[in-house]
């Protein structure tokens, strides 16, 4: 981006945030072979994956300066990022994902990585959905790391074997497994009541009842009519049914705690993105021996995805060369393979070899490779909608979950009116159009 254009963008940002321009001045530091990276990978598996990236960056002679902000799904990291940018202290690189990438790029704050992408032939190397996700107005503005599958049901394989229970593939199977487990005195499901974790279970149930097309109608296009649909009522009812299967449904705990409880056999099943697999591995649990995973019942043909990405802040361009090296490094086949093995995700590269993956990753990679019609963008993980819409929808789902007195029809009415309000705001419409493009284009 030309420097005068960049200056104009800063003036625009200052106006948008009602800040005096002097507060937005950018730090002028000498180029140094180190990059500060802001992210929210603080669990053992996440740390392991960040270390892989740091090692690949070190191969380029650049030090990874870690700025990790705790908080599942990036709640804290998002806030810290906003305040740091306002204070004129943006990190060099940061984990921003999904629709948020476009929001930051629109302000002109992200480094364009077209040179790196062209040299590395990203267009051909990336799955089309990932390629579109890292582009904004025709420019590549983020480097993709890995693809997570959110529709993952973990189950305790030893327990299932001992009780002779088959891994559930359909909703009736799921109900049957829950009945058998309860009869054996085992809690069927572990679940935290943290809003994003409840909404994770819910978006899974919605995909199972409605399929990807209806899912997009509700969460990406945010159609108020879709909120009146009986498929939403059914997903809400099922959320309530699963609440009855849970060990302490009102307990609010980090996802890492829920993983621990599952690993100790306190409950037999767990619905979570496949980063939980990495965490189970770190706890000494082996896939297919101690636990296994299947797509959430009813979503076998679909892939509910979240793609992790690193974007680079332009700042004063002094770190551009190191930032480009980071983007190049994370896309190398070796980094892609090592990172995903540590993180529980699958590579974003189409030339990855599924034969080297564990059973859970192989199923995810093949499912994602089926293309856009089989894919659904995770609302919780910012793949479907902007931050405000996401938060507002999650709050409604959470309210329904916490209070058994709230009927599905009432939540449907409230969601319809919420979507109507969101539709009225023009910047929201831009946001959801952007998300539609990201996920629908092939
Ligand atoms: C997601 C992110 C994952 C994982 C998860 C739990 O948003 O994509 O990498 O960290 O949150 O915090």
pLDDT per residue, tens digit, the chain (442 aa), is 444 444 445 444 444 343 433 334 444 445 558 999 999 999 999 999 999 999 999 999 999 999 999 999 999 999 999 999 999 999 999 999 999 999 999 999 999 999 999 999 999 999 999 999 999 999 999 999 999 999 999 999 999 999 999 999 999 999 999 999 999 999 999 999 999 999 999 999 999 999 999 999 999 999 999 999 999 999 999 999 999 999 999 999 999 999 999 999 999 999 999 999 999 999 999 999 999 999 999 999 999 999 999 999 999 999 999 999 999 999 999 999 999 999 999 999 999 999 999 999 999 999 999 999 999 999 999 999 999 999 999 999 999 999 999 999 999 999 999 999 999 985 544 444 444 343 333 3
Half-sphere exposure in the Cβ direction for 172 (13 Å, CA) = 0
Distance 278 CA to ligand 1 centre (A): 12
Protein residue closest via CA to atom 8 of ligand 1: 308
Ligand 1, residues 37, 72, 150: which to mutate, most atoms within 8 A of Cβ? Answer: 72
Distance from C-alpha of 341 to C-alpha of 146, rounded to nearest angstrom: 10
- Full domain range(s) for residue 254: 152-304+380-426
Distance 46 CA to ligand 1 centre (A): 8
Our count of domains for the chain comes to 2
- Whether 264 and 401 map to the same domain: the answer is yes
- Whether 360 and 421 map to the same domain: the answer is no
Full strand arrangement of the beta sheet holding 152-156: 246-247, 187-190, 267-271, 152-156, 291-295
- Whether 201 and 276 map to the same domain: the answer is yes
- Whether 105 and 132 map to the same domain: the answer is yes
- Whether 180 and 271 map to the same domain: the answer is yes
- Residue 98 counted as domain residue: yes
- Whether 209 and 222 map to the same domain: the answer is yes
Protein residue closest via CA to atom 2 of ligand 1: 73
- Whether 244 and 330 map to the same domain: the answer is no
- Whether 190 and 45 map to the same domain: the answer is no
Distance 317 CA to ligand 1 centre (A): 29
219 neighbors 428 (Cβ within 8 angstroms): no
* Closest atom, ligand 1, to C-alpha of 382: 7
- Residue 204 counted as domain residue: yes
Protein residue closest via CA to atom 1 of ligand 1: 73
Question: Can you give the CATH number for the domain in which 160 is found?
Answer: 3.40.190.10
Half-sphere exposure in the Cβ direction for 110 (13 Å, CA) = 30
Ligand 1, residues 145, 148, 150, 307: which to mutate, most atoms within 8 A of Cβ? Answer: 148
- Whether 206 and 287 map to the same domain: the answer is yes
* Closest atom, ligand 1, to C-alpha of 71: 12
- Whether 321 and 356 map to the same domain: the answer is yes
Distance from C-alpha of 267 to C-alpha of 186, rounded to nearest angstrom: 6
- Residue 12 counted as domain residue: no
- Around ligand 1, the residues with Cβ closer than 6 Å are 40-41, 46, 72-74, 97, 148, 273, 275, 306, 308, 381
- Whether 277 and 254 map to the same domain: the answer is yes
* DSSP state letter for 374: G
Q: How many residues does the chain have?
A: 442
Distance 40 CA to ligand 1 centre (A): 7
- Residue 7 counted as domain residue: no
3-state secondary structure of 220: coil
- Residue 246 counted as domain residue: yes
- Residue 18 counted as domain residue: no
126 neighbors 143 (Cβ within 8 angstroms): no
Q: Structure pTM? A: 0.90
Distance from C-alpha of 185 to C-alpha of 255, rounded to nearest angstrom: 24
Ligand 1, residues 43, 50, 73: which to mutate, most atoms within 8 A of Cβ? Answer: 73
- Whether 137 and 159 map to the same domain: the answer is no
Interval 108-150: pLDDT, tens? 999 999 999 999 999 999 999 999 999 999 999 999 999 999 9
217 neighbors 223 (Cβ within 8 angstroms): yes
Contacts of 433 (CB under 8 A, 6+ apart): none
Distance 67 CA to ligand 1 centre (A): 16
């Amino acid at each position: 981006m030309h420097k005068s254009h960049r200056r104009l963008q800063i003036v625009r940002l200052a106006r948008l945030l009602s800040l005096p321009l002097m507060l937005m001045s950018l730090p002028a530091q000498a180029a140094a072979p180190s990059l500060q990276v802001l992210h929210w990978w603080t669990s053992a598996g996440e740390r392991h994956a960040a270390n892989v990236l740091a090692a690949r960056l070190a191969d380029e002679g650049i030090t990874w300066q870690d700025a990790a902000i705790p908080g599942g799904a990036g709640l804290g990291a998002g806030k810290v990022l906003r305040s740091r940018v306002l204070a004129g202290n943006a990190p060099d690189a940061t984990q921003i994902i999904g629709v948020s990438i476009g929001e930051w790029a629109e302000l002109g704050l992200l480094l364009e990585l077209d040179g790196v992408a062209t040299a590395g032939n990203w267009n051909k190397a990336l799955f089309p959905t990932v390629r579109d996700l890292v582009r904004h107005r025709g420019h590549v503005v983020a480097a993709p790391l890995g693809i997570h599958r959110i529709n993952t049901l973990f189950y305790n394989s030893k327990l299932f074997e001992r009780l002779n229970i088959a891994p559930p593939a359909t909703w009736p199977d799921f109900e049957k497994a829950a009945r058998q487990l309860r009869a054996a005195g085992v809690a069927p499901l572990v679940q935290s009541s943290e809003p994003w974790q409840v909404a994770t279970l819910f978006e899974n149930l919605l995909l199972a009842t409605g399929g990807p097309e209806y899912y997009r109608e509700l969460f990406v296009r945010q159609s108020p009519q879709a909120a009146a649909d009986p498929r939403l009522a059914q997903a809400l009812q099922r959320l309530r049914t699963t609440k009855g299967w849970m060990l302490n449904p009102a307990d609010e705990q980090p996802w890492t705690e829920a993983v621990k409880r599952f690993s100790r056999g306190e409950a037999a099943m767990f619905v979570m993105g496949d980063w939980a697999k990495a965490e189970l591995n770190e706890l000494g649990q082996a896939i297919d021996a101690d636990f296994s995973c299947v797509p959430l019942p009813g979503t076998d043909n679909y892939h509910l995805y979240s793609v992790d990405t690193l974007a680079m802040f332009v700042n004063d361009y002094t770190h551009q060369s190191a930032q480009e090296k980071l983007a190049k490094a994370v896309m190398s086949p070796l980094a892609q393979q090592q990172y995903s093995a540590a993180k529980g995700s699958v590579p974003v590269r189409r030339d990855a070899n599924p034969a080297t993956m564990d059973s859970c990753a192989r199923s995810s990679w093949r499912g994602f490779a089926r293309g856009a019609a089989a894919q659904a963008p995770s609302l919780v993980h910012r793949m479907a909608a902007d931050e405000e819409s996401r938060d507002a929808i999650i709050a409604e789902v959470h309210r329904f979950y916490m209070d058994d007195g709230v009927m599905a029809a009432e939540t449907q009415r409230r969601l319809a009116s919420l979507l109507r309000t969101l539709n009225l705001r023009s910047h929201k419409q831009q946001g959801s159009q952007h998300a539609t493009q990201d996920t629908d284009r092939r």
